[in-house]
Amino acid sequence: MINTEKTNGEKRGALRFGCKILAKVVRIDGMQNFVERVKIIDFSQNGFRLRVNFVAPNPGARIELKLFLHKKQYNATVIGEIIWRKYVDDQLEIGVKIIHIENQAMGDILSWVLARSIERQNRKKILYYEVYHKGTNGTTYPSSY
C-alpha cells in the first residue's frame, strides 16, 4: 500500500514515493565547478529527498541536478531549492523543493516511480503469502486457517 497519510508536522501537499533514482548534481549556488553523484530516495511532484556524501549549502540555496532513469537510458534536468538538511543514520539528507522541471519529464519520472512502488508492494504481498499461507509440504492453506 502506498503511504498517503500525512504525519504530524507534515507540510507536503503531494504523495511521495520511495525510490532509488541516481542523479548528478550539476550546480549548487556558491560552489564553483561542483559535480557530485547523489541518490534520490523519495520523490513527489513538489520535491524530493536526496542522500548525499558532501556538505550541502544552507537551506535557500539553488541546486541543479540531472536525474537518470532506466539504467541511464533516460535523463532529465531539475532545478530546485534546498529546503532542509539533516543527518539520518550518519548520512546527510537534503530536502529539495522543485522550482523547474519540464512537464513531460515530471510525468515520466512520476510514472516510473509509481510503477516501481507498485512492483515493491506486489513483491511484499507475494512474500507475505508465501510465508504465512503455505504449509511446510508445499500445500496452501486458506487465509482463515
Other beta carbons within 10 angstroms of residue 92's beta carbon come to: 16
pLDDT in tens, 110-132: 888 888 888 877 777 777 667 76
**Residue 44 covered by a domain:** yes
Domain of 126: which CATH number?
2.40.10.220
Tell me, what's the pLDDT at 71?
Answer: 65
Taking the model in full, what pTM does it have?
0.71
Residue type, 119: E
The domain in which residue 48 lies consists of 17-133
Cα atoms in the 13 Å half-sphere on the side-chain side of 14:
12
* Total structural domains within the chain: 1
